[in-house]
Amino acid sequence: MKKILGILSAAVLALTLASCSKAESNSVKIGGIFPLSGQVAVYGVECKNGVDLAIEEINAAGGINGKPIVLVSEDDEGNPDKTVNAFKKLSTKDGVKVVIGSLTSGCTQAITTLSQASKVVQIAPAATAPAITDAGDFIFRACFIDPFQGTVGGKFAAETLGKKRAAILYDIGNDYSVGLADNFKIAFTKAGGSIVSEESYATNDKDFNAQLTKIKNANPDVVYLPDYYGTVALIAKQLRAQGINVPMVGADGWDGLTSNAGDEVLGGYYSNHYAVDSTEPAVKKFVESFRAKYNKDPNSFAALGYDCVYLIRDAIVAAGAEDSIAVRDALAKTDGDYVTGHLTFDEKHNPIKSAVMLELVKADDGTLKTVYNTTVNP
């Protein structure tokens, strides 16, 4: 009897495993790592919203080669250690071969060597630090990199705004902030401007008055603030309180200010990946679909997440296979139009694409909004 029960148990287990394997083969599994809680949660939530919308659209149209996409999502809370744990779970327990994430440069870089060693295709939606793709050929990103974004800011301040005297205030412990500051300085001085004050602070600082006093005494005509929206909102309030009423310029980390700041950020401009008021057909379709699903405008992180899914879809279709090597090779040959612009990849899998400059203004109802100012091409 025990022998018969053992044989039956083995048969049931074999059928169960076969059933699971068949179920898995009938879908395309994608991993996602996002900061859905913590200080930069607005980025992660919005990026995942864009990812979810793209998956919903693709599945409604028949999926990828007839298979629905299944997203396995993890929250890293914007903490690099938790990003590592999330990746290990996705790549081993869940068996994913493509991962979207994470959002910030520090969290993303924490897993690039793991992705490369595991032959897992990693697409970073918004990590702009140049070193992200140095880990190897399984690493891609959907956003432009810090040198380009910092250059855009410096050229814009000098050439479009016509400013001559810039002050820079940046987070010395944040690779994103440091990289942008360095490249802004190069571009601004190359365009004929001078840096009259360069001050720094530590991550999580809340009081910037000492640095702002030095900046005020230097009499700049523009201030560059390369940080994320939460910190920028604090700095802007203290900056205006000190009577520094010159334009402020920043980067894509400012996305989120419209719902997290007040009039102190008026007169601010920042580089971004797309403009919500663009008349491009792909952008209009995306914005309308996002509004219908979430009842709000999508920020750039939503657009980048959305693009990541379509990049993966297009690569799998082009490859005619789902294994990571085939997807990697097809992804590297990308040449198409997406919400954030026409995109190809360079030899290091950084995208070649344009950037836009957005201006923060007050809407008719008194709320903050962004409006398109200009486009800067690579």
Average pLDDT, the chain: 92
For 170-219, the pLDDT digits (tens) are: 999 998 899 999 999 999 999 999 999 999 999 999 999 999 999 999 99
- CATH number of the domain that 20 lies in? 3.40.50.2300
User: Has residue 218 been placed in a domain?
Assistant: yes
Report the domain count for the chain.
2
Which residue range is the domain that position 157 belongs to? 147-272+357-376
Question: What tokens does 289 get?
Answer: 């679909």
Q: Same domain, yes or no, for 316 and 233?
A: no
Average pLDDT for residues 28-43, to the nearest whole number? 95
Query: C-alpha distances in angstroms, 53 versus 38, 60, 292?
Result: 23, 11, 10
CA angle, residues 296, 337, 102, in degrees to nearest 5: 60
Task: Tell me: pLDDT of 294 over 90.
Answer: yes
Task: Tell me: pLDDT of 3 over 50.
Answer: no
Task: Tell me: pLDDT of 17 over 80.
Answer: no
Task: Tell me: pLDDT of 33 over 90.
Answer: yes
Give pairs for 135-141: CB < 8 Å, separation 24+.
Answer: 136/112, 137/328, 137/332, 137/349, 138/324, 138/328, 139/112, 139/115, 139/349, 140/311, 140/331, 140/332, 140/345, 140/349, 141/349, 141/350, 141/351
Percent of the chain's residues with pLDDT above 90: 83
pTM, 2 dp: 0.78
At residue 12, the pLDDT reads 43
For 36-80, the pLDDT digits (tens) are: 999 889 889 999 999 999 999 999 999 999 999 999 999 999 999
Where does the pLDDT of residue 278 fall: very low under 50, low under 70, confident under 90, or very high at 90 and above? confident
Average pLDDT for residues 116-129, to the nearest whole number? 96
Q: How far apart are CA 25 and CA 18, in angstroms?
A: 10
DSSP state of 318: H
H or E stretch including 222?
A: strand 222-224
Question: What tokens does 8 get?
Answer: 């039956």
CA atoms within 13 A on the CB side of 134: 9
Q: Same domain, yes or no, for 251 and 366?
A: yes
User: Has residue 108 been placed in a domain?
Assistant: yes
At residue 138, the pLDDT reads 98
Question: What tokens does 24 get?
Answer: 């898995």
Quick one: which of 264, 191, 202 has its CA closest to 234? 264
At residue 5, the pLDDT reads 44
Q: Same domain, yes or no, for 171 and 212?
A: yes
